[in-house]
């Protein structure tokens, strides 16, 4: 259902508020450059510092701007099942094509708690759901056996896997049916994951080079492995630079350098350290982005 090069899009701010015009322009930039889907209000979209009203608005803007040209997979996760349910119900009502729901963070539920969390939401909201496993942020790892159990629920259709383990990705693919979409949460794993049967990537680097990430995935699907490898290696230094500080600090700095958004964050995120900013700028110059 969901596959290819999907962008985890940033939320641009202007004078402390959502910059709706820039968000619409970023979405258009993505679509004309071949992106296969848009994820608003994910980690990269600074969802943790959006109010509920802002969160709802970003999803509504995205759906409006996309105009059904590609799927919109709305980020609707929370460490509270009740809150995640409300956000997911709104996304469904607004017309999103799917929901990306991060594992509950901070409270560190058991595997059974994780199962019950996703099961409750899936049973109450008839929208395709993708759990998002990112232990480095949540403090809990959704294990392959539990992913397989969740995959039996009709509208849980895939997973965004960001454990950093290609073995864990491989185990999930082996345990689940072929139509269960395993999507990488790390840009660098895109090609390796595709090679073992994954469906694609929910990408950070696509924010700034959407055509190249789309080309990597398209080349692999077409059997042009050498061409896919070329894009993988081309983007390597850029992928690394975008995580020189915590995401989405570098990617928003990069978009600001490209003139696409204001160089603005929500605290506690802040502008890059000057030395890191210069390193990022050098990589972008070498890539001919600025």
Other Cβ atoms less than 10 A from the Cβ of 120: the count is 14
| Direct distance between the N- and C-terminal alpha carbons of the chain, in angstroms, rounded to an integer | 36
The tokens for 123 are 């049973």
Compute, in degrees rounded to 10, the torsion defined by CA atoms 124, 129, 131, 137: -90
Catalytic site includes residue 229: no
Burial status of residue 165 (CB atoms within 10 A of its CB: 0-12, 13-18, 19 or more): middle
CA distance 253 to 7: 17
Q: Which one, of 102, 167, 97, 113, lies nearest residue 135 by Cα?
A: 102
The tokens for 31 are 């679509």
Q: Cite the DSSP H helix spans in 1-143.
A: 20-32, 52-66, 81-94, 111-124, 135-138
Burial status of residue 125 (CB atoms within 10 A of its CB: 0-12, 13-18, 19 or more): buried
In sequence order, the 6+-apart residues with CB closer than 8 A to the CB of 186 are: 162, 164
Catalytic site includes residue 132: yes
In sequence order, the 6+-apart residues with CB closer than 8 A to the CB of 175 are: 144, 145, 147, 148, 151
Q: Of residues 3, 92, 149, 160, which has the active-site annotation?
A: 160
Q: Of residues 132, 149, 252, 265, which has the active-site annotation?
A: 132
Residues labelled catalytic: 132, 160
């Amino acid at each position: 259902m969901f596959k290819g090069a999907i962008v985890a899009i940033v939320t641009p701010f202007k004078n402390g508020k959502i910059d709706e015009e820039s968000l619409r322009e970023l979405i258009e930039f993505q679509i004309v450059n071949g992106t296969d889907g848009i994820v608003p209000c994910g980690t990269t979209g600074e969802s943790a510092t959006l109010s509920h009203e802002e969160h709802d608005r970003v999803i509504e803007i995205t759906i409006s701007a996309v105009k059904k040209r590609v799927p919109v997979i709305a980020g609707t996760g929370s460490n509270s099942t009740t809150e995640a349910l409300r956000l997911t119900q709104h996304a469904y009502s607004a017309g999103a094509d799917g929901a990306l729901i991060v594992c509950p963070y901070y409270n560190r539920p058991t595997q059974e708690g994780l199962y019950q969390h996703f099961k409750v939401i899936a049973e109450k909201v008839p929208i395709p759901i993708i759990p998002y496993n990112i232990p480095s942020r949540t403090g809990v790892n959704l294990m392959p056996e539990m992913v397989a159990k969740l995959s039996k629920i009709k509208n849980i259709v895939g997973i965004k896997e960001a454990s950093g383990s290609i073995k864990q990705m491989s185990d999930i693919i082996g345990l689940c049916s072929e139509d269960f979409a395993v999507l990488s949460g790390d840009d660098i794993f895109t090609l390796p994951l595709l090679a073992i049967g994954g469906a694609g990537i929910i990408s950070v680097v696509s924010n700034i080079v959407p055509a190249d990430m789309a080309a990597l995935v398209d080349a692999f699907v077409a059997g042009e492995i050498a061409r896919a490898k070329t894009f993988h290696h081309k983007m390597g230094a850029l992928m690394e630079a975008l995580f020189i500080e915590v995401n989405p600090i570098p990617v928003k700095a990069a978009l600001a350098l490209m003139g696409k958004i204001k160089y603005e964050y929500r605290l506690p995120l802040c502008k890059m350290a000057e030395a890191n900013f210069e390193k990022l700028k050098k990589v972008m110059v070498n890539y001919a982005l600025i």
